Amino acid sequence: MDVTTETFQRDVIERSHKLPVVVDFWAAWCGPCRMLGPAIETEVAKRAGQIELAKVDVDAEQTLAAQYGIQSIPTVAIFRDGKPVTGFVGAHPAATIGSFLDDTIEKHGEAVDAA
């Protein structure tokens, strides 16, 4: 899902209390971003229900990019319990992304009791 400054609180911060949210900080002009995007979307889709993907266009959402100190793109940050807990910078092969997501789910993906 595309996330804006207006929807970030709900779509990322609040959602991350239920499961890890992968935030892909990208820009349309960025070649490595265009390579990473489909790979990360595919890998997250394989783990549906365990992790969620949010995409932030840093050109359109400069406030969010500044707030999270994004200096290079693509940058991927995993949010859990309202804060970034891990991530990586740069484009990586699908297998590497898959392993990263599996590790993230193992470390940060336990179910949160709603009670």
- Catalytic residue (one of 12, 30, 53, 70): 30
pTM strictly above 0.95: no
33 counts as catalytic = yes
Is 30 an active-site residue?
A: yes
Which residues does residue 26 pair with via DSSP β-bridges, in sequence order? 57
What are the residues whose beta carbons fall under 8 Å from the beta carbon of 37, sequence distance 6 or more?
A: 24, 26, 55, 74
| Both tokens assigned to 49 | 């229900």
- List residues bridging with 83 in a β-sheet: 80
Catalytic residue among 21, 33, 44, 97: 33
Give the pLDDT of residue 110: 63
The one-digit pLDDT tens for each residue of the chain (115 residues) are 899 999 999 999 999 999 999 999 999 999 999 999 999 999 999 998 899 999 999 999 999 999 999 999 999 999 999 999 999 999 999 999 999 999 989 888 765 443 3
CATH superfamily of 1-82: Glutaredoxin (3.40.30.10)
Q: Check if the beta carbon of residue 67 is closer than 8 Å to that of residue 36.
A: no
* pLDDT for 114: 38
